[in-house]
Amino acid sequence: MRRFALIAVVLAGSLAGCGKNSPPPPRPVVSTPGAPALPTAAQSHLATIRLWLGPEELMTEIAATPVQEQTGMMFRTNLPENAGMIFLLGQPRQAAFWMKNCPLPLSCAYIDPEGTIVELHDLKPYDETPVTADSANVQYVLEVNQGWFSRHHITAGTLVRTEYGSLPATFIRRR
């Protein structure tokens, strides 16, 4: 009987930690009491998908969860030339990205729900100032090495597609 009671207590204690935690807020994260802790190390490489921006090809990691989005490229020290990270924001919004704990100079594309680049911005290493989109209709953000867009003649208006089709067909279908 004691053994059963001990097992019940241990099981109840372990299940108490299994509740769904509230997701961290989207980037930028403002540190407030009770807020989730900021990442302290680079995240493992994420699932990848091949993207095309016009004729240019990129192999990109997919930041699909709030934790993956919050961590992003933090603490990463290199990024191959034709690689990047795409952030799936869920619903269109006025995105704002920052470079906390990111030593790499990056550029980002703010992309609308249809997969069209609406804005391009350069991001400075370690700069915690949010780079806020002018548009409130951003559903995806693509980060690449700084200058990649200009080196490859990618501008606002360029359509981004995946190896599976359009961005909405690829990512809305996956959810």
Is 41 among the domain residues?
Answer: no
Domain count, the chain: 1
The tens digit of pLDDT for each residue in 106-139 reads 999 999 999 999 999 999 999 999 999 999 999 9
Is 13 among the domain residues?
Answer: no
Percent helix, strand, coil in the chain, to 5, is: 20, 35, 50
Distance CA 63, CA 58 (A): 15
Average pLDDT across the chain, whole number? 80
Among 31-35, 66-70, 99-103, 121-125, name the one with the lowest average pLDDT: 31-35
Highest mean pLDDT among 64-73, 150-159, 165-174: 150-159
**106: containing domain:** 48-174
pLDDT at 173 over 70: no
Beta carbons within 8 Å of 164's beta carbon, 6+ residues apart: 49, 170
The reported pLDDT for the residue numbered 31 is 40
Asked whether the beta carbons of 97 and 123 are under 8 A apart, the reply is: yes
3-state secondary structure of 7: helix
Rg (CA), the chain: 19
3-state secondary structure of 84: strand
Both tokens assigned to 32: 């407030």
Is 116 among the domain residues?
Answer: yes
Is 43 among the domain residues?
Answer: no
Mean pLDDT across the stretch 134-154? 97
Model confidence, pTM: 0.76
CATH code for the domain of 66: 2.60.120.1140
